Amino acid sequence: MNKSRILITALFIVAMLSCSTKEKRKSINVKNTLDTERTFETIELTKDFLKVEDLKSVGIQDGSTGKLLVTQTVDTDGDGEIDQLLFQPQLEANSEKTYVIVSALESEKPKSIEYCFSRFVPERTDDYTWENDKVAFRVYGPTAQKMVEDSIKGGTLSSGVDAWLKKVDYPIINKWYKKETETSGTYHEDDGEGLDNFHVGISRGVGGIAHKKGDQYYFSKNYTEYKTITTGPIRTSFYLNYEDWDADGNIVQESRVISLDFGSHFSKFTISLNGIDTISAGLTLHEKDGEVSGNNEKGWLSYWQPHGVSELGTAIIVAPSAFLGYEKYDVKTKDLSNAYAQLKIKERKVVYYAGFGWKEAGEIKNKQEWESYLNDFSEKINNPIIVTLQE
């Protein structure tokens, strides 16, 4: 065989191998069926869906530009194995897009700030705090509860959810706690990044739960256990457990998985409950000078209120099939007045979203814009992006 023939044969083999490799490359098609663009929704990919053995070396490549996307891997059950690969597609209204599944080392993947962060805070009693680029929250632990029960100053007895009003997109949790605990400053004053001037007390804050029996609401105390599941550029999530509590003769078992994704004003609450069939998620009414509104068809409850020198909207959003209505519960006892979304428990679980929009942050300026955001959010969670694997 002469050299020319050998060269032609070799090129043919290389070409065939290249075609074979391309044929084996997988891609996913993502489809938006709504009339609005979708930019901050998280796609969860699993090994079973992608038909791969390991998610650690999987990269997501934009089919049109060839660029690798920011991704995040998550071990959801703590067994040391990666269970999910997360990414956020960019989709125009009524459109679809192809993303290619490629092999990529961690060093090759694009880097991003850990916008979605949460942690246990022992330096401030035992808060558990979480944030993304839009909002921040916290809840209170057993040490803070015991301090109240033992009449020690500085404790907090509440299963309500506190809101930290930030107006910058970078992480502030560690910075604010350091300012509060190590300097003469305080996160109760705005130094340009926002502040904590949201009072919770024993109210439900932004999304705390309660069970109504007769004309009274019952709820748990502080969380007793926590576990951080993940932090990263796309999502933070964590687990909280609560001591069994008594709802007028009904002993309730409660635990929560809470997650917060990049770009969202809302945390997702997945609550596991035993002992009751319905639950209510609440929004504190504070000085009772705001407006309660709701939409049964869209499945949301809102409270828009004056707040300090600004205004603030808080809300609960749930799938309409689990939304049983809402109530403005106005009583004389301090912090017990809340707007409540009544929710149906299915298979011992309820899933809802709770969050806020602060006028001072500049994105949502009035009640109309807030309710428009709620309608848009509701439409998206009830019409998820369609994801299909192409082999």
Strand, coil or helix: 68? strand
Task: Provide the whole-model pTM.
Answer: 0.93
Domains and CATH numbers, the chain: 28-111 (2.60.40.1180), 117-382 (2.70.98)
pLDDT at 3: 47
- Among residues 391, 262, 277, 270, the alpha carbon closest in space to that of 342 is found at 277
DSSP labels, 146-201: HHHHTT-TT-----SBEEEEE-SSS--HHHHHHHHHHSS--TTS-SSSEE-----T
Q: Are 322 and 351 in contact (CB under 8 A)?
A: yes
- The separation between CA 26 and the C-alpha centre of its own chain, rounded to angstroms, equals 29
Q: Are 85 and 71 in contact (CB under 8 A)?
A: yes
- Return the DSSP state at 57: T
Residue carrying structure tokens 């502080």 = 222
- Return the DSSP state at 35: S
- Convert 110-126 to b/e letters by CB count within 10 Å (16 or more is b): eeeeebbbbbebeebbb
- Among residues 114, 112, 148, 113, the alpha carbon closest in space to that of 130 is found at 114
Question: For residues 155 and 141, what is the distance between their CA atoms, to the nearest angstrom?
Answer: 10
- The separation between CA 115 and the C-alpha centre of its own chain, rounded to angstroms, equals 12
> Per-residue pLDDT for the chain (391 aa), expressed as one digit of tens each?
454 454 444 444 444 444 444 446 799 999 999 999 999 999 999 999 999 999 999 999 999 999 999 999 999 999 999 999 999 999 999 999 999 999 988 778 899 999 999 999 999 999 999 999 999 999 999 999 999 999 999 999 999 999 999 999 999 999 999 999 999 999 999 999 999 999 999 999 999 999 999 999 999 999 999 999 999 999 999 999 999 999 999 999 999 999 999 999 999 999 999 999 999 999 999 999 999 999 999 999 999 999 999 999 999 999 999 999 999 999 999 999 999 999 999 999 999 999 999 999 999 999 999 999 999 999 999 999 999 999 8
Alpha helices in 36-172 (DSSP H): 47-50, 142-149
Strand, coil or helix: 277? coil
Tokens in use for 279?
């639950």
Burial (0-12, 13-18, 19+ Cβ within 10 Å), 387: middle
- Among residues 69, 160, 86, the alpha carbon closest in space to that of 387 is found at 86
pLDDT at 248: 94
Alpha helices in the chain (DSSP H): 3-24, 47-50, 142-149, 173-182, 367-382
* Angstrom distances, CA of residue 374 to CA of 39, 40, 302: 16, 15, 9
- Among residues 361, 369, 278, the alpha carbon closest in space to that of 315 is found at 369
Mean pLDDT of the chain: 93
pLDDT digits (tens, 9 = 90+) for 243-252: 999 999 999 9
Residue carrying structure tokens 């020319």 = 4
Tokens in use for 50?
């992608």
Burial (0-12, 13-18, 19+ Cβ within 10 Å), 295: middle
Helix, strand, coil shares of the chain, percent, nearest 5, are 20, 45, 40
Q: Give just the sign of the alpha carbon dihedral 356, 358, 364, 369.
A: positive
Question: For residues 68 and 354, what is the distance between their CA atoms, to the nearest angstrom?
Answer: 32
Strand, coil or helix: 22? helix
Question: For residues 339 and 207, what is the distance between their CA atoms, to the nearest angstrom?
Answer: 10
Strand, coil or helix: 235? strand
Strand, coil or helix: 78? coil
Show Cβ contacts of residue 11 under 8 Å, excluding neighbours closer than 6 positions: none
Q: Are 254 and 242 in contact (CB under 8 A)?
A: yes
